[in-house]
A and B are shown apart, each in its own frame.
Chain A
Amino acid sequence: MAKVKGAIVIDIEKCKGCGLCVEVCPQKVIALGDKVNAKGYFYADVVNENCTACENCVMICPDTVITLYRAKVEV
Chain B
Amino acid sequence: MDVKFESWKEIIKDENIAFKKTKVLTDNILSYCPGCGHGVVHRLVAETIEEMEIQDQTIGIAPVGCAVLAYDFFDLDMQQAAHGRAPALATAIKRLYPEKFVFTYQGDGDLAAIGGNETIHACNRGENITIIFINNGIYGMTGGQMAPTTLEGMVTSTSPYGRDPKLMGYPLRITELIAMLPGTYYVTRQAVYKPAYVRKAKKAIRKAFENQKLNKGVSFVEIVSNCNSGWKMTPVEANKWLEENMLKTFPLGDIKVDGELVKEL
Contact = CB atoms under 8 A, between A and B. Distances in A.
Q: Do chains A and B touch in the complex (CB under 8 A)?
A: yes
Interface of A: 5-7, 9, 14, 16-20, 23-24, 39, 41, 46, 49, 53, 55-56, 58-64, 66-71, 73
Given A9-B1, A71-B10, A73-B11, A24 B195 contact: yes
Interface string B19-42: 111100100011011111111100
B137 interface: no
Given A9-B12, A62-B40, 18 more contacts: A20-B35, A20-B236, A24-B194, A24-B195, A41-B34, A49-B7, A55-B19, A56-B195, A58-B19, A60-B192, A60-B195, A62-B30, A62-B32, A62-B38, A62-B43, A67-B17, A69-B16, A71-B10
Given A53-B18, A71-B16, A18 B35 contact: yes
Interface of B: 1, 3-5, 7-8, 10-13, 16-22, 25, 29-30, 32-40, 43, 192, 194-195, 198-199, 228, 234-236, 239
A39 B34 CA distance: 12
A63 B199 contact: no
8 contacts: A7-B16, A16-B34, A18-B228, A59-B40, A60-B192, A61-B39, A68-B19, A73-B7
A29 B37 CA distance: 22
For the complex of A and B, 3 pairs with smallest distance between CB atoms: A62-B39, A18-B35, A16-B34
Contacts of A41: 34
A64 B40 CA distance: 8
B226 to A, nearest CB: 10
B80 to A, nearest CB: 21
A67 B7 contact: no
Contacts of A69: 8, 11-13, 16-18
Given A69-B18, A70-B16, A5 B7 contact: yes
Most A CB within 10 A of own CB, among B4, B22, B199: B4
Contacts of B10: 71, 73
B196 to A, nearest CB: 8
Contacts of B19: 55, 58, 66-68
Contact of B18 (A6, A17, A23): A6
